Chain A
Amino acid sequence: MSTQEISLEELRQRQSRFRGLEAGHRACLGCGQALAARWVLEAAGPDVVVANATGCLEVFTTPWPESAWRVPWLHSLFENTGAVAAGLEAALKVQGKTAKALAFAGDGGTFDIGFQALSGLLEREHDVLYVCYDNEGYMNTGVQRSGSTPHAAATTTSPAGRARLGKRHLKKDILAIIASHHIAYAATASIAYPEDLKRKVRQALLITGPTFLHLHAPCPLGWGHDGSLSVEVARLAVQTGLFPLIEMERGQVIGVMPLRTIRPVADYLKLQGRFGHLFRDDPRAREELEHLQALADHNIEVFNLRADRPDPADSEGADTVRRGRRRF
């Protein structure tokens, strides 16, 4: 069948995958979060209900009177996504429905503003998959720093200037906090490894009880890179060791994606405007660069990211290409 025999509208209805998030949304060019949200729903399937915190994802998908969602979806407040998702789950349970409750929030809604609701959700053991789309700042309101913004990144509230070179503090170790809630499953994933990401969503949905996914999703606008580079930037975050892909059960690390090639952090940083000041001819810039390299090396050591052993899940190999999507 060719495009002569079928209209694009009809073809769109006949795509061989679940379309939870439809085109026509207002995300920026090359938005990492739009990609990530589509894949989460692709893996989670139609039988879900979503509570979505305030943020880019909420704004760009639902310009009234339109919606880009094809699943039941509810906008919560910035601070209470965890509580709303818990309520959704309780309501579904009372009605005897099998739909799974999902909570979507950005890093602001997770690390900072919605944190107590999230902690309560985990502590009360609601059957909810909480997905944090981490673009490392308050991008929707104009690129302010968040608890997730990495050290030395410039934002409008942590600018690079004479006094400081970007954010003074470190990126909050959210997964360690989640781990101390002793939940059954928590994992990190990146838009550069879609097969790995979808596998982790499916893995989380197998579990009854609270689960947590931390998805690294570059923001071309806030990070200062071209939209076409979103996947490349996300891939480099993983390959440098700055964003390790790991899985945890009951707070223990049970799997990491070993890195076949470990790249220097400068490869990742120099693509992004928010780290541009680190490449000035300035001793402090060189120091910050070394600091970020040390943070990456620390991750590589702590999580044992060197690919000196076989990877049972073959996370990196899962996204290599074959003609006609064949797998070996």
Chain B
Amino acid sequence: MILTRGAYALPGTSLAYKTGTWRLQRPVHRHRAAPCHAACPAGEDAQAWLARLDEGDSQGAWESLVSANPLPAITGRVCHHPCERACNRGQFDQPIAIHAVERFLGDQALANDWPYPVSPPSPAAPEVAVVGAGPAGLSCAYHLLRLGYKARVFDALPEAGGTLRTALPPYRLPRGVLEAEIGRLLNLGIGFEPGVRLGRDVYLDDLRRQYPAVFLALGATRPRPWDVAGVVPAELHQGLELLKEWVSVGELPKADSVAVVGGGNTSVDIARVMRRIGVPEVHLITHRALPHPEVPEDDWMPAIPREVEQAQEEGVVFHPHTGVRRLVLRGQQLLGIELVKMKKLVQPDGSLKRVPFEGTEKVLRIEQVIPAIGEMVDPSGLESLLGCQEFLLVDAWGRVAGISGVFAGGDMRFGAGMVSIAIGDGRRAALAIAAYLQGKEPEAEPVKTIAYEQLNVNYYDHAPRAEPTLLPVAQRVGFAEVEGGLDTAQAAAEAARCFSCGSCLSCDNCWNLCPEPAVLKLPDEIPGQVRYVFDYDYCKGCGLCARECPCGFIVMEDEA
């Protein structure tokens, strides 16, 4: 080559100069938990399994899901899904329909018989006793298996499932799904002893002698006693008892008008059952407010908002911020109840108190009143542990204070009351039991979440949320399931809507937007591996990649 006079340089020779020496801050890849992960009581990382599904690997997505929650077909139907309220996408358009995709994956696993990613325990592994085959007990047994331990599950009833089986109405959780998922779980090698009641057939002290650790998950099966100023009507049936009867028999004696007292899931369920058996007039009385975005959440009635909505569609009349002041009786016969409006208000001393408003009393003529104001632990066999308390006191790992080797979780402990909370309790207790058997302290799981402001939403398109179809009200009879599922295309579309908060989306933004360029892309896409590397020889630390990363996966760190 002939080069003429004047200055010249060979192509790309600027690489000899390492502009990385200018840098004061360096970009690094940092995974942070998505808010759905932090909000899931069962400990699921929904972002992670939505990512697998978005990659087209639905079985991998399900395997990722069941690494935390072994019962997705069940929770996808009955969970109150706080993940969706936490979802960052909710601040952009609508949250991902996480529960519907969870149900889709659970149903796919049942249909295709995908094997749980768990190997059978070795015969020599220590065996842990689990009392109660509800969601907490089953979850604990499953996670013990994953950790290499054996589990033996005792239950007073002839079949596993606990409250899921006895009191969850089949229009929310069809029995076929329940049987299939729990059956698959028990087949993994979990020992199951049905018909064994604690305090009658077996005692806690015996279990403690025979097993190195015991997990108690007996649930809260006893309805909380109810009266109005010491008075109860004759022929009083508790909501929970009626619900259990309907679930097992499918029929109930019916009145012409009924008032259900209480704002939890049991009361909404029994109110909807009353409509299903043909009671024309069903009222629901609660101290709290209806779930509504403009009402502070701590005032919401504790029932799952979508169940409340469906109950309203089915004709249940809600009386929020209302209490029962008096039973209107003629002798033993109930004529009605006197209602009064009330609200929780801050008192001069700072405490919160329900204040009835004088002058708002009214009498509701009804034939039957059904209390469903909550459940408490059945103390039989646990008298020494419970003392005079309604619930067990345990720490965050489910360790019962004062007795080593005994753990508890689910509805038995104060503050639970939801299926996914019970599943999470079982998982954490299994971790704590494993640590206990190894003479260690369980390790805390720090979850640092990423906020909406840390994403760059300029790079996301608006897309409508896939809503599951609901059965028309006229067809909501008997055990017919109300909510439908998503099809494969809808589930894939939901997975594609996920912002991938705190995790790499392989979108090429950093690779495209680096002015140097100092971001290099690896030739092959390997699932689970970040595809981009920073070439710190040339990165000047401008921070553009971090600022423009849609997922907040890149953060700037000061150079030492």
Contacts and interface: CB of A to CB of B under 8 A. Distances in A.
Interface string B13-27: 111111100100000
B535 A23 contact: yes
Contact of B14 (A61, A231, A321): A61
B277 interface: no
Contacts of B241: none
A227 B542 contact: yes
Given A23-B516, A66-B14, A229-B547, 10 more contacts: A23-B14, A24-B18, A24-B538, A30-B544, A35-B515, A38-B515, A228-B546, A320-B459, A321-B459, A322-B507
Nearest to B23: A29
A323 B505 CA distance: 5
A68 to B, nearest CB: 4
Contacts of A12: 15, 520, 535
Interface in A21-37: 22-27, 29-32, 34-35
Interface string A122-151: 000000000000000000000000000000
Contacts of A301: none
A36 to B, nearest CB: 9
Contacts of A67: 9-14
B66 to A, nearest CB: 22
A324 B506 CA distance: 5
B471 interface: no
A26 B517 contact: no
B94 to A, nearest CB: 17
Contacts of A228: 542-544, 546-547, 556
B537 interface: yes
B437 interface: no
B17 A66 contact: yes
Which one of B506, B512, B526, B556 has the highest number of Cβ atoms from chain A below 10 Å of its Cβ? Answer: B512
Given A15-B521, A29-B542, A325 B14 contact: no
10 contacts: A23-B518, A29-B543, A38-B515, A63-B14, A70-B11, A70-B12, A228-B544, A230-B515, A321-B459, A321-B509
B534 to A, nearest CB: 9
B407 to A, nearest CB: 40
Interface string A52-68: 00000000011111111
A23 B10 contact: no
Nearest to B458: A235
A-B pairs with lowest CB-CB distance, top 7? A228-B543, A24-B14, A321-B507, A67-B9, A29-B542, A227-B542, A68-B14
A99 interface: no
Interface residues of B, number: 55
Interface in A298-328: 317, 319-325, 328
Interface string A238-268: 0000000000000000000000000000000
B515 A323 contact: no
Contacts of A8: 520, 533, 535, 537
Contact of A65 (B9, B460, B516, B537): B9
Interface size class, chain A: 35 or more
Given A1-B524, A2-B522, A232-B547, A323 B542 contact: no
Contacts of B546: 228
A37 B297 CA distance: 52
Contact of B523 (A14, A194, A227, A229): A14
Interface string B173-201: 00000000000000000000000000000
A288 interface: no
B541 A194 contact: no
Nearest to A9: B15
B204 interface: no
Which one of A1, A22, A23, A230 has the highest number of Cβ atoms from chain B below 10 Å of its Cβ? Answer: A23
Contact of B13 (A30, A65, A229, A231): A65
A226 interface: yes
B251 interface: no
B475 interface: no
B525 interface: yes
A70 B428 CA distance: 58
A65 B10 CA distance: 8
Q: Main SS of the interface on chain B?
A: loop
Contacts of A98: none
Contacts of B51: 323
Which one of B496, B513, B515, B523 has the highest number of Cβ atoms from chain A below 10 Å of its Cβ? Answer: B515
Contacts of B17: 24, 26, 63, 66
A5 to B, nearest CB: 9
Nearest to B54: A323
A23 B513 CA distance: 13
A24 B460 contact: no
B441 interface: no
Contacts of B544: 30, 227-228, 230-231
B14 A1 contact: no
B522 A23 contact: no
B265 to A, nearest CB: 36
Contact of B508 (A26, A231, A325): A325
Given A62-B9, A65-B9, A321-B460, A231 B513 contact: yes
B533 A325 contact: no
A3 interface: yes
Nearest to A39: B512
A180 interface: no
Contact of A29 (B500, B535, B540): B540
A194 B508 CA distance: 12
A317 B550 CA distance: 14
Contacts of B360: none
Interface string A201-229: 00000000000000000001000001111
B516 A25 contact: yes
A78 interface: no
A34 B516 CA distance: 7
A27 to B, nearest CB: 6
A11 interface: yes
A69 interface: yes
A301 B515 CA distance: 34
B7 interface: yes
B548 interface: yes
A244 B19 CA distance: 34
B529 interface: yes
Interface in B108-167: none
B93 to A, nearest CB: 13
A258 to B, nearest CB: 15
A317 B547 contact: no
A16 interface: yes
Contacts of A1: 522-524
A300 to B, nearest CB: 19
B206 interface: no
Contact of A11 (B522, B538, B541): B522
Contacts of A323: 51, 54-55, 496, 500, 505-507
Contacts of A61: 14
B294 interface: no
Given A3-B522, A30-B543, A228-B544, A23 B517 contact: yes
A27 B17 CA distance: 12
Interface string B542-560: 1110111010000010000
